[in-house]
Amino acid sequence: MLTIALPKGRIAEQTLEKFEKVFEEKFVFEDRKLILKKAGFTFLNVRNQDVPTYVMYGAADLGVVGLDVLEEKGYDLVKLLDLQIGQCRVAIGLKAGESIDWTRSEITVATKHEKIAKRFFEQKAMAVNIVKLYGSIELAPLVGLSDCIVDIVETGETMKQNGLEVGQTIMQSSVYLVSNKNAYYGKKEQILTLREKLATT
Ligand code: PRP
């Protein structure tokens, strides 16, 4: 029995669709249920940012999570497979027509991705004041909360519709199947069989 932590929402749906194709069975979380048991798997429906935590502490053997979230958490998990869904990038966003003044001593950045943003600016020898937000990041520069944002860009439409421009890309991301190290050693055959099925379907 493998336990797999899935992030709620679109990625959970797309991942369950993949499992449906592989196992030719319906995989759906009923109503408000957070646990789904099917075909020898237990799926946990958790928040995006919590997936690495469930896997790291061994509450789940496997997790499905964006590379950006994984990088942000910094946990030592085994990356098993790029599921080729949820492709996006983490990029700078600025008010249209503005650019970063690299001569300044400090910049204020609004983001969910604190570590990724901090590392990016510090590597460029720019001190950074992070304003941690949990969503609707694009608002911050519009109302003077920050100079710029570091956020997920998929189509670029959210930034565009809010008068922002997409700046430099910090990292590319997509959704990965990841494993807890102990689980990987202990259940290697089962995990690799699943990995293979997901890779070829
Ligand atoms: C994400 C991200 C952007 C948007 C990017 O937000 O934070 O706001 O998607 O997509 P686009 O480039 O295709 O417009 P999400 O929908 O996850 O909501 P959030 O703002 O609450 O994080």
21 alpha carbon – ligand 1 mean position (Å) = 28
| pLDDT tens, per residue, the chain with 201 residues | 999 999 998 888 899 999 999 989 999 999 999 999 999 999 999 999 999 999 999 999 999 999 999 999 999 999 999 999 999 999 999 999 999 999 999 999 999 999 999 999 999 999 999 999 999 999 999 999 999 999 999 999 999 999 999 999 999 999 999 999 999 999 999 999 999 999 998
Please say whether the beta carbons of 19 and 41 come within 8 A.
yes
Helix (H) or strand (E) holding 193: helix 188-200
Q: Which two tokens stand for residue 48?
A: 């995006």
C-beta 153 within 6 A of ligand 1: yes
In whole angstroms, give the CA distance from residue 69 to residue 101: 28
For atom 1 of ligand 1, the residue with the nearest CA is: 152
Ligand 1 atom nearest to CA at 137:
20
Please say whether the beta carbons of 111 and 130 come within 8 A.
yes
C-beta 152 within 6 A of ligand 1: yes
Ligand 1 atom nearest to CA at 158:
14
In whole angstroms, give the CA distance from residue 87 to residue 89: 7
In whole angstroms, give the CA distance from residue 198 to residue 162: 38
